């Protein structure tokens, strides 16, 4: 089995995963505070780059240019960079807490770009201690982070290849810091009723969409997997037979699932993951009554470069 598609079991790296999750939440809070608001909360999303999780360029609070905050998962550092070339680096050591790193990152932003405050309350996690005070999550294993990053990189490339030919509105491969997953969202162009009045739901899910994503597991589902769902989904949405073998509907999650280990075991892991994404999308577009011509473009090829 290729080391380019390493194993990723939440059970085996839960302590490091939760610490890393806390670190990325600090980046997300900066994006929420500084980025211009976008539909479906796109301004709050991070990106998985060739070195790790990063914000998009954010307006410096003091008006001096832009800044990017990131986690370099190769050098194992938190990085804050100003567009004028100044930068601060904070080492992610095996016993450094989320609270210590968060405080250092915010101090670096203030030093390089001006005063900024964030809401330090963690989101979509089982713990509630403010990020800047969190001393519980302090386990960071560089080897485990390296395996996660290699797996996440392959997953992100699959998601990017899936969305590439689609002619409708879609997102880039977003790295969501609350749920600690990667996802692309393809939209039909039609509005939708949010599933609840929760802040995230009413702002992020007000349009008809199909989401395909990947996450490294969590306490609810203890292994990495690709997932897919439609919003809004009609009755019986979870009754389809999805390809490839191993893909299934998980009623407790309300999503179609393809376990990462099934992808890794395939003769062509990338092809297996793409087959899953395209199979769910075709099913969703049919039962949700999307424009067939628009839906078909996701199975096409990118337009020629002229």
Examine the domain organization and report whether 193 and 288 are in the same domain: yes
**Which of 111, 133, 155 corresponds to the end of one domain?**
133
**pLDDT band at 300; cut points 50, 70, 90:** confident
Q: Distance from CA of residue 18 to its chain's centroid?
A: 15
Residue 2 scores a pLDDT above 70: no
Quote the tokens at residue 126. 């089982």
H/E element, 99: helix 98-113
CA distance 248 to 271: 17
pLDDT of 301 reads 76
Cis peptide before 16 (omega within 30 of 0): no
Q: Is residue 1 part of a domain?
A: no
Quote the tokens at residue 79. 């990085």
Q: Is residue 289 part of a domain?
A: yes
Determine contact, residues 25/137, Cβ cutoff 8 Å: no
CA distance 180 to 148: 12
Mean pLDDT over 37-61 rounds to 96
Determine contact, residues 175/216, Cβ cutoff 8 Å: no
Residue 52 scores a pLDDT above 90: yes
pLDDT digits (tens, 9 = 90+) for 236-250: 999 999 999 999 999
Mean pLDDT over 251-257 rounds to 97
- In the chain, how many domains are there? 2
Examine the domain organization and report whether 240 and 270 are in the same domain: yes
Mean pLDDT over 147-151 rounds to 97
Best CA proximity match to 102, nearest among 136, 144, 143, 74:
136
Q: Is residue 2 part of a domain?
A: no
Determine contact, residues 159/213, Cβ cutoff 8 Å: yes
Q: Which residue has the higher pLDDT, 304 or 21?
A: 21
Examine the domain organization and report whether 116 and 157 are in the same domain: no
Q: Is residue 189 part of a domain?
A: yes
pLDDT of 47 reads 98
Mean pLDDT over 81-107 rounds to 97
Q: Which of 63-77, 115-129, 167-181, 288-302 has the lowest mean pLDDT?
A: 288-302
Examine the domain organization and report whether 152 and 288 are in the same domain: yes
**Mean pLDDT of all residues belonging to the chain:** 95
pLDDT of 116 reads 97
**pLDDT band at 85; cut points 50, 70, 90:** very high
Determine contact, residues 51/80, Cβ cutoff 8 Å: no
Examine the domain organization and report whether 49 and 123 are in the same domain: yes
Domain of residue 62: give its range.
Answer: 10-133
pLDDT of 1 reads 45
pLDDT of 154 reads 98
Residue 212 scores a pLDDT above 50: yes
Residue 304 scores a pLDDT above 80: no
SS3 content of the chain, % helix, strand, coil (to 5): 35, 20, 40
**Which of 133, 156, 180 corresponds to the end of one domain?**
133
* CA distances to 157, 204, 228, 306 from 185, in Å: 15, 11, 10, 27
**Which of 112, 133, 154 corresponds to the end of one domain?**
133
Residue 72 scores a pLDDT above 70: yes
pLDDT digits (tens, 9 = 90+) for 155-192: 999 999 999 999 999 999 999 999 999 999 999 999 99
Residue 302 scores a pLDDT above 80: no
Determine contact, residues 10/261, Cβ cutoff 8 Å: no
**pLDDT band at 34; cut points 50, 70, 90:** very high
Best CA proximity match to 23, nearest among 99, 82, 81, 127:
99
pTM equals 0.95
Q: Which of 116-125, 135-144, 197-206, 270-279 has the lowest mean pLDDT?
A: 197-206
């Amino acid at each position: 089995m290729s080391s380019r598609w390493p194993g990723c079991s939440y059970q085996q790296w839960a302590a490091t995963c939760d610490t890393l999750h806390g670190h990325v939440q600090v980046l997300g809070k900066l994006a929420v505070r500084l980025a211009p608001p976008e539909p479906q909360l796109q301004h709050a999303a991070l990106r998985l780059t060739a070195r790790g999780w990063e914000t998009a360029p954010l307006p410096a609070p003091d008006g001096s240019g832009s800044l990017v905050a990131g986690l370099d998962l190769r050098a194992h550092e938190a990085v804050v960079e100003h567009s004028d070339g100044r930068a601060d680096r904070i080492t992610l050591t095996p016993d450094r807490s989320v609270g210590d790193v968060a405080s250092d990152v915010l101090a670096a932003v203030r030093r390089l770009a001006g005063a900024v405050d964030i809401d330090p309350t963690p989101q979509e996690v089982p713990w509630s201690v403010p990020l800047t005070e969190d001393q519980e999550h302090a386990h960071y294993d560089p080897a485990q982070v390296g395996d996660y990053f290699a797996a996440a990189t392959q997953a992100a490339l699959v998601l990017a290849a899936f969305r590439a030919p689609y002619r409708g509105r879609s997102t880039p491969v977003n790295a969501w810091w609350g749920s600690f997953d990667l996802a692309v969202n393809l939209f039909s162009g039609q509005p939708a009723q949010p599933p609840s009045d929760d802040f995230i739901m009413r702002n992020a899910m007000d349009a008809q969409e199909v989401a395909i994503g990947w996450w490294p597991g969590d306490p609810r589902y203890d292994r990495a997997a690709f997932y897919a769902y439609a919003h809004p989904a009609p009755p019986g949405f979870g009754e389809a037979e999805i390809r490839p073998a191993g893909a299934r509907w998980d009623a407790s999650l309300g999503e179609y699932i393809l376990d990462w280990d099934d992808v890794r075991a395939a003769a062509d892991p990338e092809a297996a993951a793409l087959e899953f994404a395209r199979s769910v999308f075709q099913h969703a577009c049919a039962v949700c009554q999307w424009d067939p011509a628009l839906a078909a473009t996701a199975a096409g090829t990118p337009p020629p470069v002229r």
